Amino acid sequence: MPRSLLVVFLAIGFALPALADELSRARQNELLYLLEQDCGSCHGLRLKGGLGPPLLPADIADTPDEALIDVILLGRPGTPMPPWDVEITATEVAWLVGRLRTGKVAYDR
Amino acid sequence: MTGNPARAAVLICLIGLAAALLAACTHAPRATGDLGVVIERAAGRLVVIETTGSTILTRVPGLGDTSHASVVYSRDERFAYVFGRDGGLTKVDILRGRVVGRVMQGGNSVGGAISQDGRLVAVANYEPGGVRVFDAQTLAQIADIPAVAADGSTSKVIGLVDAPGNRFVFSLYDAGETWIADMADPAAPKLTKFTRIGRLPYDALITGNGRYYIAGLFGEDGLALLDLWNPEAGMRRILDGYGRGEEPLPVYKMPHLEGWAVAGDIAVLPAVGRHEVLLLDMATWREAGRVPVHGQPVFAVARPDGRHVWVNFAHPRNDTVQVIDLVSRKIVATLKPGKAVLHMEFTPRGERVWVSVRDEDKVVVYDTATLQPVAELPVEKPSGIFLTARAHKTGL
């Protein structure tokens, strides 16, 4: 899948080091809100799993960043996991995956 | 009690008030026919509401993770059984506004059902997949039905409903099976299994008369139908190929098949991966048409008289509700209740509909004749709305 490779390359290539600077705090909070509310509708508000698998740090520990970024951006055809590249950039997904790893995903209320 | 009955009575009243008794001693006893609950999804709270004056009566905390919580009612319409995402089954006395029982029954549950006789509450679990059955009075576990498919794999359970004859019917998401559990002997459910019903059944419903069980399929274009009056005939596919071979659109929130929308012989169902609702002729089980709508439909709920169907939509088009007139099969209104409309519930006779608007922390009540909002209530991240009239409806 050339598109997915490109996406992963972009995400890893220039996103990781400068992530915190690139994403405004407001956008970060929007992403965490999306994660809780909209990813949460399938993965559980607290990401403990639902129709989709749990996404807590222990559950994704063995999956490399690229694979997680890939599935979030492009979805998994034939399953309910939809592609999110229409509304989240590769940079933003890489940042989200970083947060998923820490388990600190609460948004500022 | 002391020697002074009047003082004792006052004392009891004060205690009652302090405990937020809905039916305080000075008032006539309150009935529950116009009550309901709204889930405060993030706070793990239930909001008890009444639909006569459209007001909030009280809030009940302590329900755990209510992300996808759903509710069934005891037959006396007093107790709400809340099925939480964290596997908690909570029994709430809505008159007194408090939790009266709670068990952690599984790791991760989505929904449940109450038996025809009101004695059994069944919970569908994702993790570990299966159905557990509890005594409705005490919440003691009575039976455990692990969802182990014909090929030995375990499955998430979805689409659990009650059926006449004290049965429960549910489906196995991963394995694509539907099971009937006959609860004549509650401790030893008798299972009838239908295998290979289709790929990834994601939700199911039962018609109001308890005769037909229909499972929506995610993995293919179509639904699986079981006639409970004639289970020997097995399950058959209906609306096969409704996507006409076109690539399905991504689905950002799973549609729900609760609330069978029926007008005459026509049922209305959300399509999966298409911005359409499907009209199903229940006499022939053939497609009777389709109505293009604003986005991926999530709920298509009929007003109780069956003339109008209200539809809400998946993220990111979830600020809208459309009203379809089933006589003309046209959209008669496109409403904007606010950001993230999650659920709609009609009052029993259909003069009002309650709409939860998650991102605006409110519930809006519409007049269903004028289609105008008539009340707005502050509710934190509301999701499901469940009125007590569900107590007397099969499948709800």
Q: Chain A: which residues have CB within 8 Å of chain B?
A: 36-38, 40-42, 44-46, 48-51, 75, 78-80, 82-83, 87
B171 and B219 together in one domain: yes
Whether the CB-CB separation of B241 and B222 falls below 8 Å is answered with yes
End-to-end CA distance of chain A: 39
B111 and B243 together in one domain: yes
B242 and B110 together in one domain: yes
Does B134 reside within a domain?
yes
Mutant choice from A35, A37, A42, A86 vs B, greatest count of B C-beta within 10 A: A37
B194 and B270 together in one domain: no
Task: Kindly determine whether residue B316 and residue A87, on different chains, have CB atoms separated by under 8 Å.
Answer: yes
The domain that holds B181 is classified in CATH as: 2.130.10.10
From the list A38, A42, A48, the residue facing B108 with the nearest CB is A48
Lowest-confidence segment of B17-21, B180-184, B324-328 by average pLDDT: B17-21
Residues B6-50: tens digit of each pLDDT: 555 545 444 444 454 454 455 678 999 999 999 998 888 999 999
Residue A2 has pLDDT above 70, yes or no: no
B155 and B285 together in one domain: no
Task: Round to whole Å and give the CA distance between B373 and B370.
Answer: 9
Query: Smallest CA–CA separation between B205 and chain A, in Å?
Result: 17
Query: Which residues on chain B are in Cβ contact (under 8 Å) with A46?
Result: 65, 67, 85-86
B234 and B278 together in one domain: no
Q: Of B252, B269, B296, which marks where a domain is finished? A: B252
Domain membership of residue B326 as a residue range: 254-336
Residues B169-180: tens digit of each pLDDT: 999 999 999 999
pLDDT of residue A109: 77
Mutant choice from B40, B65, B67 vs A, greatest count of A C-beta within 10 A: B67
B211 and B311 together in one domain: no
Q: Of B234, B252, B270, which marks where a domain is finished? A: B252
B173 and B233 together in one domain: yes
B326 and B300 together in one domain: yes
| ipTM of the complex as predicted | 0.84
Number of domains in chain B: 2
Domains annotated on chain A, with CATH: 3-102 (1.10.760.10)
Query: Smallest CA–CA separation between B252 and chain A, in Å?
Result: 6
Q: Of B223, B252, B281, which marks where a domain is finished? A: B252
Mean pLDDT along residues B284-290: 94
pLDDT of residue B14: 46
Query: Which residues on chain A are in Cβ contact (under 8 Å) with B68?
Result: 41, 44-45, 50
What is the DSSP secondary structure assignment for residue B154, as one 8-state letter? B
The DSSP line for B185-208 is STTSPEEEEE----S-EEEEEE-T
Task: Round to whole Å and give the CA distance between B378 and B39.
Answer: 12
Under 8 Å CB pairs connecting chains A and B tally to 66
B273 and B145 together in one domain: no
Go through chain A and tell me how many residues it has: 109
B115 and B160 together in one domain: yes
